[in-house]
Amino acid sequence: MSAIGLAPAAAQEPFRAPEPGDLVGQGPGHHTVTVLGAGPAGLCTAYELGKAGYDVTVLEARFRPGGRVWSIRGGTEETDLDGETQRSTFSEGHFLNMGATRIPQGHVTLDYCRELGVAIQAFPNQNANALVNYTSETPLTKTSMTYRAARADTYGYISELLQKAASRGALDDVLSADDKQALAEFLKDFGDLSSDGRYLGSSRRGYTSEPGAGIDDGTRLPPPPALSDVVRSGIGRNFGFELENDQAMMMYTAVGGMDQIYHAFHRRLGDRVRFGAVVTSMRNVPEGVTVEYTHGGVGRSITSDYVVCTLPPHLVARLRTNLAPDVLAALRAPKAVASGKLGIEYSNRWWETEQRIYGGVSNTDKDIREIMFPFDHFHGDRGIVVAYYSTGKRQEIFEPLSHRQRLAKALAEGAEIHGESYTKNVGPSFSAAWRRIRYSESAWASWSSKSPEYKLLLQPADKIYFAGDYLSHALSWQHGALTSARAAVAAVHARAAGPR
Amino acid sequence: MSAIGLAPAAAQEPFRAPEPGDLVGQGPGHHTVTVLGAGPAGLCTAYELGKAGYDVTVLEARFRPGGRVWSIRGGTEETDLDGETQRSTFSEGHFLNMGATRIPQGHVTLDYCRELGVAIQAFPNQNANALVNYTSETPLTKTSMTYRAARADTYGYISELLQKAASRGALDDVLSADDKQALAEFLKDFGDLSSDGRYLGSSRRGYTSEPGAGIDDGTRLPPPPALSDVVRSGIGRNFGFELENDQAMMMYTAVGGMDQIYHAFHRRLGDRVRFGAVVTSMRNVPEGVTVEYTHGGVGRSITSDYVVCTLPPHLVARLRTNLAPDVLAALRAPKAVASGKLGIEYSNRWWETEQRIYGGVSNTDKDIREIMFPFDHFHGDRGIVVAYYSTGKRQEIFEPLSHRQRLAKALAEGAEIHGESYTKNVGPSFSAAWRRIRYSESAWASWSSKSPEYKLLLQPADKIYFAGDYLSHALSWQHGALTSARAAVAAVHARAAGPR
């Protein structure tokens, strides 16, 4: 991106639409914009408008930036909508990313990390040493095996099967002799097949004791399960995840907590961000838009030329507004997705010392769905494990529980996967169910970008512009919020630069 | 591992054989051991013997620890055996791991990092955004495509093929109806197949522009190549690599250069390590073993109860010794493998800003074989790219070239894969061919652990013990050197503790 800073550039550049990593230019004249919300969309909007010379005010109900990008640290306190208060006692330097935790390489989020000087590091989105454990009624039910072994067995057997079919001539209508030879070479390597095309196990499954000195060629795992057991048990059911465009390694994260990105935005914006400002109404008026809010118990009002509203849409619909009925209906259209996490700080790092797991994710079809191991403090004396990150129906089971109940369930299910160590050396913990978190009440929005409601909200409601990841093709991603913000900025700027 | 430190523990524990991450105990009486070489095997030997109370001296010809674990920084100077001197002018804080650069999670190397307090970080051993480019005479010849796209296409088509074969009944002798249904479910996800079981491309191939705000659903890559083109071109020929036990993610490396591990060993050993000590002879004598060496041009001699010799075996065979002919023959048996790297410091990070590649490896069948992108200094103003890491025949092409010639070839081949940026902003560079590096003369040893020569060297030659990765089932890995050292320590200790 180009020159940083809120002061207008000395030499004025003509405005051009933002491109990835590049939004420059200065609006003509003096324009005021109130931005509602200091999450990724709101802060990005204010930052980019500020660059272009706009007079920006950000109203944020919370006393922190980042919105759903929320890193829980020692001292974090939250009372959920059910009235339960949690106060984190996580150790100094440790944190739990309750919301966004990973960044794909293609996302503009990384450009902002670069521009804002936020350090990034690798995020272990898969790990051959993590475990898979599924509960369906199949031969491998409730068996923990490493992702490494599950992958070796699955790839091995599908390679054996395809090689067998091709060599039988079953695919001769689509494979030439050359194709078949090339395919056989690939499958032999991909499945680690024997010279006669069979999968008989592989060193790729891993060892219980690594090969070492002298005559020690290691202790291999027991022989693999039978082909039918592997296929029917579906131990490879989650392999598609690491192939997805947004999830394939390498993945990254902000060093020290994802919220560091939004603290960096906030530092650039300074006191233009007003924390503790709870918006109560928003109305298009002849002079622009008037927003009413409470701040420290006192009712206040601000009128500006434009508003960019980045609050969750269903919460906007609850404000006192003069929005048209179709706009209000559109704001109510996205469904609030249930999702949440629970983090446990252990006072040892058993996953490293006992199970040789350095970061990454164990997968299950239990309610906890997955266990994420820490990507920092390797070899330290403690660490925070994400004991569940569940979404939808599985999260709906955790949502109504008290934190203590959630913890008990997470420990019980985790222990079935990772064994006894899972329930020992348990220190502080913290959980949230995003639908029960004030000012969010949703993990993210579920709806269709093809719906008329979606399309309606892409248009301003007079001088009110909407932005957020819910108005993007990257739902739930910071990238969606940031690109949506950039689109709103471009729209405001195009209008301000043209006839008013 | 247990208590650290060279001073004998106050309370003596009975010796027990080293286990991964754990070697304790104190030898009875006073024993002297001379360790030849301050690479991983030598330093680990001295460190562990020191823990157990032995009086250890390490002789190292170089003026640095680490041996083939060699991190090139600004100021590194080396004259190779052909007489060419390179002097690195890499920027402060940047380095090139000329030898070992990655650590699998199962290796004891990580235990030593933990014990010695050496910080580790993720090593991106594969990256969906890195490129594959192969030169064989096939439809996709000399085409750069992302690893992501190559994987989506390969997995997609093999899934389509297997689904087709299974649905035709071609595998009914090995797949039950239940198996077939489970397999179909897996393949649909694994290959991202259409509802009728075909691979028609996939968002997993990636985008030229990521989906973003509003109606922007991204710009997909062109449609995939045809099935036959993908199969015959073998774009998946390297996919097995990331499945190998020693190479599967997550992989790790030492922060700031792999040599940090051996600087940490050295700090524990202090002046017990004598740098610049070039061993010239080693003889079993009635009092133990006498080693002659030159130090600062002066001939010196040291006699100790035992020697643990960790020098490369073919260099040991050149010393003046009184070793038996079969031992000498065994030392000459391992073949010296050709391998080497060339690192280029660029004064921008075009791979991140232009190609969205954050670490990882591009693969080719050109002589450079692979290009490794830096795992540190993300978003910085410069970085060191490993422009080739080649082994065997491909390295033999680089080996006789001058550094300037190597660089020219690396830039030309790299540019064919990564485009014009590869040849711009080129700063300092450094290369080495391990067979031409004094005191190593080999990247690693190639031989069989089943050979009688291998087995012979597992036994001491009287009071001389041999150790090194060449005496392990982890050839070329630090783990091999470290476990071999631990085995030598155990053998020396068992002998010293018993009747002499």
Cβ separation A189–B240 shorter than 8 A: yes
DSSP-assigned letters across all residues of B310-324 = -S-HHHHTTSEE---
Cβ separation B379–A114 shorter than 8 A: yes
The whole-number pLDDT of residue B468 equals 98
Which one of B182, B209, B214 has the shortest CB-CB distance to A472?
B214
Cβ separation A129–B472 shorter than 8 A: no
Considering only residues 383 to 412 of chain B, which have any Cβ-Cβ distance to chain A shorter than 8 Å? none
Give chain A positions within 8 Å (CB) of B21: 353
Considering only residues 167 to 196 of chain B, which have any Cβ-Cβ distance to chain A shorter than 8 Å? 168, 170-171, 174-176, 178-179, 182-183, 185-187, 189-190, 192
pLDDT-derived band at A346, boundaries 50, 70, 90: very high
| Average confidence score pLDDT of chain B | 94
pLDDT digits 0-9 by tens, A195-213: 999 999 999 999 999 999 9
Give chain A positions within 8 Å (CB) of B231: 175, 179, 182-183, 186
Give chain B positions within 8 Å (CB) of A93: none
Of A476, A485, A483, A468, whose CA–CA distance to B210 is shortest? Answer: A483
Give chain A positions within 8 Å (CB) of B151: 243
pLDDT-derived band at B21, boundaries 50, 70, 90: low
Q: What whole-number distance in Å separates Cα of residue A31 and Cα of residue A269?
A: 17
Report the greatest alpha carbon distance in chain B: 86
Tell me the mean pLDDT in the region A229-238.
95
DSSP 3-state of A488: helix
To the nearest whole angstrom, how far is the Cα of B202 from the nearest Cα of chain A?
9
Rounded to 10°, the helix B108-116/B478-497 angle is 80
Cβ separation A124–B231 shorter than 8 A: no
Q: Are β-strands B383-391 and A426-433 bridged in parallel, bridged antiparallel, or unpaired? A: unpaired
Is pLDDT above 80 for B10? no
pLDDT-derived band at A136, boundaries 50, 70, 90: confident
Cβ separation B232–A168 shorter than 8 A: no
Is pLDDT above 60 for B16? no
Is pLDDT above 80 for A3? no
pLDDT digits 0-9 by tens, A275-305: 999 999 999 999 999 999 999 999 999 999 9
CB B422 within 8 Å of CB B414: yes
Q: What is the CA radius of gyration of chain B?
A: 26
To the nearest whole angstrom, how far is the Cα of B345 from the nearest Cα of chain A?
20
The whole-number pLDDT of residue A22 equals 61
Is B126 within 8 Å of chain A by CB?
Answer: yes
CB atoms within 10 A of CB A184: 18
A33 beta partners: A56, A306
Cβ separation A379–B486 shorter than 8 A: no
pLDDT digits 0-9 by tens, B30-59: 899 999 999 999 999 999 999 989 999 999
CB A154 within 8 Å of CB B162: no
User: Residues B423, B427, B432, B433: what is their CA dihedral angle, to the nearest 10 degrees?
Assistant: 10
Determine the residue of chain B that is closest to A162 in CA distance: B162
Is pLDDT above 80 for B14? no
Q: What whole-number distance in Å separates Cα of residue B38 and Cα of residue B45?
A: 9
Q: Which of A125, A160, A250 to mutate to test the interface with B (most CBs of B within 10 A)?
A: A250
The tokens for B252 are: 């790790």
Is pLDDT above 70 for A218? yes
Cβ separation B472–A186 shorter than 8 A: no
**Cis previous bond, B258, omega within 30:** no
Domains of chain A with CATH codes: 32-67+260-334+445-497 (3.50.50.60), 71-129+249-258+338-436 (3.90.660.10), 147-236 (1.20.1440.240)
Tell me the C-alpha to C-alpha distance, in Å, between residue B162 and each of A152, A218, A307, B157, B191: 17, 34, 55, 9, 10
CB A42 within 8 Å of CB A67: yes
Which one of A105, A211, A243 has the shortest CB-CB distance to B358?
A105
To the nearest whole angstrom, how far is the Cα of A244 from the nearest Cα of chain B?
5
CB atoms within 10 A of CB A202: 24
Give chain A positions within 8 Å (CB) of B44: none
Cβ separation A487–B154 shorter than 8 A: no
Is B479 within 8 Å of chain A by CB?
Answer: yes
CB A89 within 8 Å of CB A232: no
Is A162 within 8 Å of chain B by CB?
Answer: yes
Give chain B positions within 8 Å (CB) of A243: 151-152, 155, 190, 192, 204
pLDDT-derived band at A25, boundaries 50, 70, 90: low
Amino acid occupying residue B206: G
To the nearest whole angstrom, how far is the Cα of B104 from the nearest Cα of chain A?
10
To the nearest whole angstrom, how far is the Cα of B115 from the nearest Cα of chain A?
9
Give chain A positions within 8 Å (CB) of B248: 128, 148, 204
The whole-number pLDDT of residue B4 equals 26
To the nearest whole angstrom, how far is the Cα of A113 from the nearest Cα of chain B?
8
Is B120 within 8 Å of chain A by CB?
Answer: yes
To the nearest whole angstrom, how far is the Cα of A83 from the nearest Cα of chain B?
36
Cβ separation B234–A358 shorter than 8 A: no
Cβ separation B473–A218 shorter than 8 A: yes
CB B36 within 8 Å of CB B308: yes
Vertex A396: Cα angle to A395 and A400 (nearest 5): 110
Is A41 within 8 Å of chain B by CB?
Answer: no
Is B379 within 8 Å of chain A by CB?
Answer: yes
Task: State what percent of residues in chain B have pLDDT above 70.
Answer: 94
The tokens for B121 are: 């970080």
The whole-number pLDDT of residue B1 equals 36
pLDDT-derived band at A9, boundaries 50, 70, 90: very low
Give chain B positions within 8 Å (CB) of A155: 243
Cβ separation A228–B175 shorter than 8 A: yes
Considering only residues 256 to 285 of chain A, which have any Cβ-Cβ distance to chain B shorter than 8 Å? none
Chain position carrying tokens 């164990």: A362
pLDDT digits 0-9 by tens, A421-442: 999 999 999 999 999 999 999 9
Q: What whole-number distance in Å separates Cα of residue B42 and Cα of residue B310?
A: 6
Give chain B positions within 8 Å (CB) of A451: none
Is pLDDT above 60 for B374? yes
Is B124 within 8 Å of chain A by CB?
Answer: yes
More confident residue, A346 or B26: A346
To the nearest whole angstrom, how far is the Cα of B352 from the nearest Cα of chain A?
9
pLDDT digits 0-9 by tens, B139-198: 898 899 999 999 999 999 999 999 999 999 999 999 999 999 999 999 999 999 999 999
Give chain A positions within 8 Å (CB) of B236: 186, 190
pLDDT digits 0-9 by tens, A38-68: 999 999 999 999 998 999 999 999 999 999 9
Q: What whole-number distance in Å separates Cα of residue A455 and Cα of residue A209?
A: 58
Give chain B positions within 8 Å (CB) of A190: 158, 236, 239-240, 243
**Burial track B211-234 (b if 16+ CB lie within 10 A, e otherwise):** bbbbebbbebbeebbebbbbbbbb
pLDDT-derived band at A11, boundaries 50, 70, 90: very low
Which one of B120, B122, B378 has the shortest CB-CB distance to A124?
B122
pLDDT-derived band at B29, boundaries 50, 70, 90: confident
Q: Specify the long-range contacts of residues B47-50, CB closer than 8 Å, at least 24 apart.
A: B47/B265, B47/B268, B47/B269, B48/B18, B48/B23, B48/B485, B48/B486, B48/B489, B49/B308, B49/B489, B49/B492, B49/B493, B50/B6, B50/B268, B50/B269, B50/B272
pLDDT-derived band at B9, boundaries 50, 70, 90: very low
Considering only residues 194 to 213 of chain A, which have any Cβ-Cβ distance to chain B shorter than 8 Å? 203-207, 209-213
Is pLDDT above 70 for A15? no
Give chain B positions within 8 Å (CB) of A154: 186
DSSP 3-state of B418: helix
The whole-number pLDDT of residue B498 equals 73
Give chain B positions within 8 Å (CB) of A114: 352, 379
To the nearest whole angstrom, how far is the Cα of A347 from the nearest Cα of chain B?
16
Q: How far is CA A463 from the centre of its chain?
A: 31
Residues in chain A: 500
Handedness of CA A340, A384, A120, B477 (dihedral sign): negative
Determine the residue of chain A that is closest to B127 in CA distance: A250
Determine the residue of chain A that is closest to B486 in CA distance: A213
Is pLDDT above 90 for A230? yes
**Cis previous bond, A145, omega within 30:** no
Cβ separation A472–B213 shorter than 8 A: yes
Cβ separation A106–B479 shorter than 8 A: no
The whole-number pLDDT of residue A497 equals 80
The upper half-sphere exposure of residue B68, i.e. CA atoms within 13 Å in the direction of its Cβ, equals: 31
The whole-number pLDDT of residue B188 equals 98
Amino acid occupying residue B407: L
